[in-house]
Structure formats: structure tokens, C-alpha cells
Amino acid sequence: MDQICVLTGDLVASSRLSSCALDAALEAVAQACRDLGPQIGATRFARNRGDGWQIALDTPRFQARLALLIRARLRAVGPELSTRIAIAQGAGTLPLGTDLNAAHGPVFTASGQLLDALEGPRIAHAGGGALGAALRLFDHISQGWTQAQARAMVPMLRLDPPTQTAASAEIGITRQSLSQALQGAGYEAILDAVTLIEDSA
């Protein structure tokens, strides 16, 4: 078995969402994987249980960045959209095809069990420790993001973020508005923390 990272989640209050909103929300989760691109290696995304999803990541050091991107992508689509994210790192076997639902191993079990037990925080790590503590703080900070702040965070959380001038043009706002949104979202501190996590992994 390989050492991989698994993120398992489900949408919060999904029964209130229309089928179109549900599809848009789960597409936002999938798009977060694409935002990081090939730099993070192979990722696999699957929908499950109607309002659920799962991602397998073979470069675990990027798990915190991916969790934040998922939060940003969802909040950017709609301020009412949120998901629980249960993260585990460990041994697992991925299928040869694209069907992640055929994967197995202790890491998948740990991630699923954490999601089932998750109350209060909406982002948590099965391994606890320093990474779990950092994710708890990321969860608290990012739950306060406005839709505008989340939109600003999306391009800046990529591994190769654009300049703020390019990001503001991409989003369709002024550079001053982008800078204000990033400051309100805690971007600089979050980026420093995420970079420290990735460099120490």
C-alpha cells in the first residue's frame, strides 16, 4: 500500500439545496483539485452518498492547502455553501481505473470514521498533532470568510498564484478591492502557515 492522503466530506444542510445548487457545490469541490494542478501529483475525486465526496491525494503535504481551497471555492459560489472535511493520512490502495469508490485501506477507513464523528469543527485531521491544530485554526478563520474574501483567496491559494494585479483582473474587481479582501481573510498569515506545513512535510 502507498502512503496517501484522503479527504472525505459532505455538504452541510444539503437538503435545503436544489439539485442544481448541489451539483454546483460538488463541482466547486472538484475544481479545488484542478486549481492545484499537476504540481501536486495525482488526485482522484468521487461523489458519493448523494451529497458526499472524497478525494485521494498522493502528495499529502498539500492537504491543508487543498482543504482551504475547497472552503474558498464553495464560499465563492454561494455564502450558504459549506462542507465538512475529514482528513486522514496513511496506507491505502488506489484502483487502476478512475473509480475512487473501489479504493481501500486504513486511510480511507480513518477518514470516513472521522467524518461520521465530526461535530463542531468542519475541518479536522484524524492524526491530530500540530497539523490537526493548524487545521482547527484554519477552519475557524475561514468560516468567517465573506463571499468576496473567498473569491479573492481562490487564485492566491494556488501553488503558482498570480500577481495581485492579475488576480484582480481574473476576478473582475479592482486591485484595491482584492487587497482589502485578502487582508480581511487573513491571507498573509494563512499562506505563511501553509508554506511552513508544506516545507516541513
What is the predicted pLDDT for the residue at 99?
A: 64
pTM score, whole prediction? 0.93
Please state the three-class secondary structure of 12-50 as a single string.
CCHHHCCHHHHHHHHHHHHHHHHHHHHHHCCEEEEEECC
Burial profile 90-126: b = 16 or more Cβ within 10 angstroms, e = fewer: bebebeeeeebeebebebbebbbebbeebeebbbbbb
The torsion of the CA quartet 173, 174, 178, 181, rounded to 10 degrees, works out to -80
What is the predicted pLDDT for the residue at 64?
A: 96
Please state the three-class secondary structure of the chain as a single string.
CEEEEEEEEEECCHHHCCHHHHHHHHHHHHHHHHHHHHHHCCEEEEEECCCEEEEEECCHHHHHHHHHHHHHHHHHHCCCCCEEEEEEEEEEECCCCCCHHHCECHHHHHHHHHHHHCCCCCEEECCCHHHHHHHHHHHHHHCCCCHHHHHHHHHHCCCCCCCHHHHHHHHCCCHHHHHHHHHHHCHHHHHHHHHHHHHHC
Give the C-alpha separation, 23 to 137, whole Å. 29
**pLDDT tens string for the chain (201 positions)?**
578 899 999 999 888 888 898 999 999 999 998 888 777 766 788 888 788 999 998 888 999 999 999 999 999 999 889 999 999 999 887 766 666 766 778 898 999 999 999 988 999 999 999 999 999 999 999 999 999 999 999 999 999 999 999 999 999 999 999 999 999 999 999 999 999 999 987
Q: Are 179 and 164 in contact (CB under 8 A)?
A: yes
Cell numbers linked to 48: 458519493
What is the predicted pLDDT for the residue at 30?
A: 92
Tracing cell 482547527 back to the chain, one arrives at 136
